[in-house]
Amino acid sequence: MNDELRYLLARTVQGKMNRRNFLGRAAAVGFTAAAANTMLASGLKAQTPQKGGVLKIGMQGGGSTDSLDPALAANQVTFQLLKLFGDPLVELDPKGGPVQMRLAEAVESTPDAKQWTFKIRKGVKFHNGKDLTPDDVLATLKRHSDENSKSGALGVMKGIESMKVDGDNVVVTLTEANADLPYLMADYHLVIEPNGGMDDPASGIGTGAYKVTVNEPGVRHVFEKFDEYWDESQGHFDGVEILVINDNTARTSALQSGQIHVANRIDPKVAGLMGRAPNLEVKNVSGKGHYVFIMHCNTAPFDNNDLRLALKYAINRQEMVDKVLQGYGTIGNDFPINASYPLFDDSIEQRSYDPDKAAFHYKKSGHDGSPIVMRTSDVAFSGALDASALFQQTAQASGIPLEIKREPGDGYWSDVWNVQPFCASYWGGRPVQDQMYSTAYLSSADWNDTRFDNPEFDKLLVEAKGELDTAKRKEMYSQMAYMVRDEGGLILPMFNDFICAITDDVQGWEEDPNQDLMNGLLAHKCWFA
Amino acid sequence: MITSIIGHPVVRLVAHRIAMGLLLLFAASLLIFVGTQILPGDVAQSILGQSATPQALANLRAELGLNEPAVSRYLSWLLGALHGDLGTALTNGQDIADAMGRRLGNTLFLAGCAAIIAVPLALTLGLVSVRYQGRWPDKLISAVTLASVSVPEFLLGYIVMFIMAVRLRAFPSVSTVYDSMSLLERLNAIALPVTVLVLVVLGHMMRMTRAAILNVMQSAYIETAELKGMRPFRIIWRHALPNAIAPVVNVVMLNLAYLVVGVVVVEVVFVYPGMGQYLVDHVAKRDVPVVQACGLVFAAVYIGLNMIADLVSILANPRLRHPK
């Protein structure tokens, strides 16, 4: 089949072109109507999941230091491993709707949103042959909420007052109302392990669609299909192999030479070129992750809101999206929320590059004209050095003396980020607005990396959490967005896309803004044509 | 008899050299320990990443014993290492000796394959360029090897990968090897990194061979051999090479050491699970016991190979072998 016909077929199957046109075009390139009809039939068949095959994924973001302990997962590869071998209680919806049920069959709350009941699914088996019980769920949640645990989910478990098993249910009681609790339970660390992983946290045994057969951290992770997986609609491959390929060029070469079917984290600079290759498809999804420049609101000279505003007006957002992300992203508006969050207010006015306003606010701030030092590093985000240089230039145009100090990538997250008053950084998204704001903008938050301290904001945040009326809640979040945007220390030029590339025999792709590779569920939902 | 062996200058020199090597290794262990202590950043933070809570960090720090004094940590580490116990990795709890053993095996396999091709090739090319000194074979060999040395390794890797893997699809671009592979599969997997490594080390060894032999070729006894009517290649092989062996062995050993400890870039490009990648991963995570163990192994390899080079030059010197 030639490339043109393949393209036409794909469009017809997706419903972007009708059958008659397809047959006409096929005839034009020399196919008989009968052959074209057969082709169309097999093309349509490719839309229903087929079983079999071993999916190979080349991934950036793993190392020989990786562990299978869900509590310690912190990079792309460990995130993906957890998704493969384990299941959470609930999963985020790709379209931003209510959470989808996984190991929980139903979730209910008391009207005050303080007590939540998770009904645990029956007939689910662990890879070691044991049945899933509510006790396993309780033990898992306890392990991650233990003050002595090293869990990355410790933060989301903080508001829990008590937990207990009640028949088939696990009941969670909160210290204060939280309408978002189900979203928090979708945290990727919270995969259910036998006895909560209390006995052997890094055993790699879960209830997931694929079970671990080879675990060589930093090299490869091999999985085979778990025959007794409870959800028959997912997990179509016989096996999955994750190859850790951290080098960008090596990863794209492996995809081009047919050694892998999927590569994550495609460099925006080459994404356009890769999309032109005949057997590859580049998939980009705008996510919740964003690249930022952060100022400490309590440290001179950034304790002056006019200076902060001057810097916010002095950054050219569109240019950054075009040049740093090569168009694979969307512009930001100086608050950490975008349209992929539930209850997003899209009427908030977009801030754009304005050298005159920047100069006006800079003058009004009364800054003495000494260089304003901004720290940056290539680990802050991909393209951070370029972005910093662009920022410096546009700031210069308004007479703001920005000085770039390049820091070593080693130790950046312990010595610069959240320590120095002005630096480049990035944030991954959180499932809901409340969690994003509570993590980084609440005055008492550990990672309040802009030292934002606004009592009114803190009060609204707590109120919104317990507000079950969505219209009122949306209004509250809108007010909070304005506060961060106009008074905060956050300069948010862009939201980055997740970009991955797949070979065209991988079918069933769907957009999921929550995380890389369809929120880690590519191997669950896709299949080979 | 025994006293005469012990008293023999070669034995004394060799024993002296080995003792020096051990002393050097001990000094290296001290340096490695100090070096890992003054790395910036914090182990706990690096393990848990940017998204770690202060509470989790404090818990991990206490668990890792980071609060004990450095001297006692050094002594217990050294004692353990002498017993072959390198401890467990902080980050994923794997036994270091076990995990590193496999990585070291992979590295030695890659280095060995590259050396088996590169060393004889470099010597032969060196001899050929001496034989045809100043003529086109000499110039061609020099030009090609110098060019391959001058191109950075990663670029060389990408070029080889693009041609051999992406265009021709002759060899895999990902060189991951694992236990269940047969020897032939392994050789197929590492074809590309071996090619790159050969290209990288060839020039250095070939140039040194050429220079050392040319140096000897100025000697009076070579002229005598020529006047005897010996064929040029035979003169080089029989009379010049044995006398040029010391500097050649030195540079060969340096390159072998490089193949073992310096190939991290090639490992990353071809995704080869060797020591270099292992070390870099653990440095990035501040997994100090692993970094120390790797440092010690690297130091031992370097010192060991250089010691062999020294011993060979001692033994190759007839004046030392046959004292008056």
CATH of the domain at A241: 3.40.190.10
Name the residue facing A257 among B59, B60, B169 (closest C-beta). Answer: B169
A417 with B50: Cβ contact below 8 A: yes
Q: Which residues of B touch A263 (CB under 8 A)?
A: none
B165 with A257: Cβ contact below 8 A: yes
Name the residue facing A147 among B55, B162, B268 (closest C-beta). Answer: B55
State residue A18's pLDDT score: 66
Nearest to B288 by CA among B84, B29, B36, B99: B36
State residue A513's pLDDT score: 87
Q: Which of A152, A169, A197 is the last residue of a domain?
A: A197
Flag whether residue A172 sits within 8 Å of chain B, measured between CB atoms. Answer: no
Cis peptide before A301 (omega within 30 of 0): yes
From B102, which residue of chain A is nearest by alpha-carbon distance?
Answer: A216
Please give the residue that has the higher pLDDT: either B41 or B220.
Answer: B220
User: What is the rounded distance in angstroms from the CA atom of residue A174 to the CA atom of residue A155?
Assistant: 14
Each residue of B130-146: pLDDT tens digit?
889 889 999 999 999 98
The alpha carbon of residue B61 is apart from the nearest alpha carbon of chain A, in Å, by 10
The alpha carbon of residue B308 is apart from the nearest alpha carbon of chain A, in Å, by 32
A154 with B56: Cβ contact below 8 A: yes
A250 with B176: Cβ contact below 8 A: no
Sorted by sequence, the CB contacts under 8 Å of residue B13 that are 6+ apart come out as B314, B320
The answer to whether residues A41 and A144 belong to one domain is: no
Q: In the structure encoding, which two tokens stand for residue A182, read together?
A: 């189900």
Residue that has been written with the tokens 């001057």 in this structure: A310
A202 with B92: Cβ contact below 8 A: yes
Q: What is the arithmetic mean of pLDDT over A170-194?
A: 91
Q: In the structure encoding, which two tokens stand for residue B45, read together?
A: 């933070």
The answer to whether residues A359 and A432 belong to one domain is: yes
B174 with A246: Cβ contact below 8 A: no
State residue A44's pLDDT score: 56
Helix (H, G, I), strand (E, B) or coil at A179: coil
Q: Considering its fold, how many domains does chain A have in total?
A: 4
Between A205-219, A448-462, B1-15, the lowest mean confidence (pLDDT) is in B1-15
State residue A490's pLDDT score: 96
Nearest to A214 by CA among B294, B102, B165, B288: B102
Q: What is the arithmetic mean of pLDDT over B267-277?
A: 87
Predicted TM-score (pTM) of the model is 0.81
Q: Answer whether A210's CB lies under 8 Å from B265's CB.
A: no
Q: Is residue A270 part of a domain?
A: no
Q: Is residue A406 part of a domain?
A: yes
Residue A93, number of CB atoms within 10 A of its CB = 17
The alpha carbon of residue A151 is apart from the nearest alpha carbon of chain B, in Å, by 7
Helix residue ranges, H only, A161-299: 181-184, 248-256, 268-275
- Burial classification of residue B144, based on how many CB atoms lie within 10 Å of its CB (0-12 exposed, 13-18 middle, 19 or more buried): middle
Nearest to A425 by CA among A291, A312, A323: A291
User: What is the rounded distance in angstroms from the CA atom of residue A332 to the CA atom of residue A344?
Assistant: 13
A382: alpha, beta or left? (left if phi > 0; alpha if psi -120 to 50): beta
State residue A40's pLDDT score: 62
The alpha carbon of residue A447 is apart from the nearest alpha carbon of chain B, in Å, by 8
State residue A408's pLDDT score: 84
Q: What is the arithmetic mean of pLDDT over A144-149?
A: 81
Q: Is residue A83 part of a domain?
A: no
The answer to whether residues A386 and A439 belong to one domain is: yes
Strands A100-101 and A169-174, bridge-based pairing: unpaired
Sorted by sequence, the CB contacts under 8 Å of residue A245 that are 6+ apart come out as A58, A59, A60, A251, A254, A260, A263, B174, B271
Q: What is the arithmetic mean of pLDDT over A182-188?
A: 90
Confidence band for A34, pLDDT divided at 50, 70 and 90: low
Which of residues 327 through 386 in chain A touch B, CB cutoff 8 A?
A: none
Q: What is the arithmetic mean of pLDDT over B28-54?
A: 74
The answer to whether residues A99 and A247 belong to one domain is: no
The answer to whether residues A324 and A473 belong to one domain is: yes
Residue that has been written with the tokens 């980009």 in this structure: A284
Residue B84, number of CB atoms within 10 A of its CB = 7
Please state the three-class secondary structure of A271-317 as a single string. HHHHHCCCCEEEEEEEEEEEEEEEECCCCCCCCCHHHHHHHHHCCCH
Q: Which of A167, A197, A227 is the last residue of a domain?
A: A197
Q: Which residues of B touch A155 (CB under 8 A)?
A: 53
Q: What is the arithmetic mean of pLDDT over A69-88?
A: 92
Q: Answer whether A223's CB lies under 8 Å from A213's CB.
A: yes
Name the residue facing B176 among A72, A243, A415 (closest C-beta). Answer: A243
The answer to whether residues A314 and A456 belong to one domain is: yes
Q: Is residue A102 part of a domain?
A: yes
Residue B73 has pLDDT above 80, yes or no: no
State residue B191's pLDDT score: 93
State residue B52's pLDDT score: 67
Q: Which residues of A touch B94 (CB under 8 A)?
A: 217
Q: What is the arithmetic mean of pLDDT over A425-451?
A: 88
Confidence band for B284, pLDDT divided at 50, 70 and 90: confident
Each residue of A92-108: pLDDT tens digit?
988 878 899 999 999 99
Q: Which residues of A touch B89 (CB under 8 A)?
A: 65
CATH code that applies to domain B108-276: 1.10.3720.10
Q: Is residue A103 part of a domain?
A: yes
State residue A248's pLDDT score: 85
Residue A229 has pLDDT above 90, yes or no: yes
Q: Which residues of B touch A446 (CB under 8 A)?
A: 53-54
Helix (H, G, I), strand (E, B) or coil at B319: helix
User: What is the rounded distance in angstroms from the CA atom of residue A391 to the CA atom of residue A491?
Assistant: 11
Q: Is residue A275 part of a domain?
A: no
Q: Answer whether A379's CB lies under 8 Å from A406's CB.
A: no
Q: Which residues of B touch A411 (CB under 8 A)?
A: 39-41
Sorted by sequence, the CB contacts under 8 Å of residue A487 that are 6+ apart come out as A297, A305, A308, A452, A454
Q: Which residues of A touch B172 (CB under 8 A)?
A: 257, 259
The answer to whether residues A486 and A378 belong to one domain is: yes
CA atoms within 13 Å, Cβ hemisphere of B104: 15
- The residue type of A84 is L
Confidence band for A414, pLDDT divided at 50, 70 and 90: confident
User: What is the rounded distance in angstroms from the CA atom of residue A197 to the CA atom of residue A69?
Assistant: 8
Between A246-260, B64-78, B208-222, the lowest mean confidence (pLDDT) is in B64-78
- CATH code, A375: 3.10.105.10
The alpha carbon of residue B155 is apart from the nearest alpha carbon of chain A, in Å, by 10
The answer to whether residues A246 and A317 belong to one domain is: no
Residue A194 has pLDDT above 70, yes or no: yes
Q: Is residue A37 part of a domain?
A: yes
Name the residue facing B48 among A150, A246, A417 (closest C-beta). Answer: A150
Phi, psi of A361 (to 5 degrees): -70, -35
Q: Answer whether A344's CB lies under 8 Å from A96's CB.
A: no
Each residue of A349-400: pLDDT tens digit?
999 999 999 999 999 999 998 999 999 998 888 889 999 999 999 999 999 9
Helix residue ranges, H only, chain B: 2-7, 9-37, 43-48, 54-63, 70-82, 96-131, 136-150, 153-160, 183-189, 191-217, 220-228, 232-235, 241-261, 264-270, 275-284, 288-315, 318-321
Range of the domain at A17: 3-46
Query: Could you tell me how many CB contacts below 8 A there are between chain A and chain B?
Result: 136
Q: Answer whether B283's CB lies under 8 Å from B71's CB.
A: no
Each residue of A312-361: pLDDT tens digit?
999 999 999 999 999 999 999 999 999 888 889 989 999 999 999 999 99
User: What is the rounded distance in angstroms from the CA atom of residue A367 to the CA atom of residue A523?
Assistant: 54
State residue A476's pLDDT score: 94
Phi, psi of A90 (to 5 degrees): -140, 160
User: What is the rounded distance in angstroms from the CA atom of residue A443 to the CA atom of residue A434?
Assistant: 14
From A246, which residue of chain B is nearest by alpha-carbon distance?
Answer: B268
Residue A151 has pLDDT above 90, yes or no: no
Residue B154 has pLDDT above 60, yes or no: yes
State residue A217's pLDDT score: 87
Between A74-78, A136-140, A174-178, B74-78, the lowest mean confidence (pLDDT) is in B74-78
The answer to whether residues A509 and A493 belong to one domain is: no
State residue A96's pLDDT score: 77
The alpha carbon of residue B324 is apart from the nearest alpha carbon of chain A, in Å, by 57
The alpha carbon of residue B43 is apart from the nearest alpha carbon of chain A, in Å, by 10
Q: Is residue A454 part of a domain?
A: yes
Q: Go through A217-238 and write b for each residue having 16 or more CB atoms within 10 A of its CB, e for each that does not.
A: bbbbbbbbbbeebbeeebbbbe
Confidence band for A484, pLDDT divided at 50, 70 and 90: very high
- Best mutation target among A257, A261, A427 (most B Cβ atoms within 10 Å) is A257
B169 with A414: Cβ contact below 8 A: no
A410 with B270: Cβ contact below 8 A: no
Q: Which residues of B touch A67 (CB under 8 A)?
A: 91-93
- The residue type of B129 is S
